């Protein structure tokens, strides 16, 4: 009851201060990466999937930011209608159905039909921060809120934990945060103009 209310009020106050100053707390930008074995040779690093754990407070701040951004994106109809990933009411199934309809329509009308497929499996890791900043600004995210988003993305710190042993902390200055709530949304905005 009362304790929960005080915690919520304190978190809201801290979050609002961060937004008003355009700063995401550095302490919340630290992630712990745990390699999870998939299959194959256990001595081959590519047979492990990195799972990143972030601070619960970071997740709360991200969820609030995500909701604000999604409200803005929806209000101004920013997402391309061909964007299916990580979106409510859209899925691989709806993408395949629309793709099949597109092919069928093209063949029915005797048009040449072709497609290009890309492997985006490491795409989150290689997003250029200056490009995402330009795109966010293009979509209407400006000023202090844009500073907040860029501060969230930049200078993320990670360490790897295996069997209780921890690596040194490394700073990453490319990509969007793995394991984050905002990462997929930022990625969608990054590739939103791909159809053009």
Within-domain flag for 196: no
Distance of CA 146 to the CA centre of its chain: 15
Within-domain flag for 21: yes
Condensed to tens digits (0 to 9), the pLDDT of residues 134-166 reads 999 999 999 999 999 999 999 999 999 999 999
- Of 182, 176, 183, 190, nearest to 80 (Cα)? 190
For β-strands 30-37 and 48-53, DSSP reports them as antiparallel
Within-domain flag for 118: yes
- The span from the CA of 82 to the CA of 104, in Å, is 17
- Of 58, 12, 76, nearest to 153 (Cα)? 58
Number of domains in the chain: 1
Could you tell me the residue range of the domain that residue 102 belongs to?
2-191
Condensed to tens digits (0 to 9), the pLDDT of residues 75-132 reads 999 998 888 876 778 888 888 898 899 999 999 999 998 888 888 878 889 999 999 9
Condensed to tens digits (0 to 9), the pLDDT of residues 163-184 reads 999 999 999 999 999 889 999 9
Tell me: pLDDT of 34 over 70.
yes
Measure CA of the first residue to CA of the last residue in the chain; give whole Å: 52
Beta bridge partners of 30: 157
Looking at residue 56, its pLDDT comes to 93
Within-domain flag for 142: yes
Residue 191's pLDDT band (cuts 50, 70, 90) = very high
**What is the residue-averaged pLDDT of the chain?**
92
Looking at residue 146, its pLDDT comes to 98
Q: Mention every residue, 6+ apart, whose C-beta is less than 8 A from residue 89.
A: none
User: How large is the average pLDDT for residues 56-85?
Assistant: 92
- Of 154, 155, 149, nearest to 129 (Cα)? 154
Which burial class, exposed, middle or buried, applies to 134 when counting CB atoms under 10 A from its CB (0-12, 13-18, 19+)? exposed
Looking at residue 196, its pLDDT comes to 65
C-alpha pair distances (Å), 143 with each of 23, 105, 116, 172: 12, 44, 37, 24
């Amino acid at each position: 009851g009362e304790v929960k209310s005080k915690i919520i009020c304190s978190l809201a106050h801290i979050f609002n201060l961060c937004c008003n100053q355009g700063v995401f707390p550095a302490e919340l930008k630290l992630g712990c990466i745990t390699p999870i074995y998939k299959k194959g040779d256990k001595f081959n690093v590519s047979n492990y999937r990195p799972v990143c754990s972030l601070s619960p407070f970071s997740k709360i701040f991200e969820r609030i930011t995500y909701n604000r951004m999604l409200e803005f994106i929806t209000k101004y109809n920013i997402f391309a209608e061909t964007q299916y990933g990580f979106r409510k009411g859209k899925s691989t199934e709806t993408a395949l159905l629309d793709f099949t309809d597109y092919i069928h329509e093209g063949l029915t009308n005797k048009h040449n039909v072709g497609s290009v497929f890309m492997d985006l499996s490491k795409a989150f890791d290689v997003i250029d921060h200056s490009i995402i900043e330009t795109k966010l600004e293009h979509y209407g995210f400006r000023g202090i809120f844009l500073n907040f988003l860029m501060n969230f993305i930049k200078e993320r710190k990670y360490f790897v934990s295996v069997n209780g042993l921890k690596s040194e902390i490394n700073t990453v200055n490319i990509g969007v945060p793995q394991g984050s709530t905002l990462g997929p949304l930022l990625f969608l905005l990054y590739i939103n103009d791909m159809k053009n």
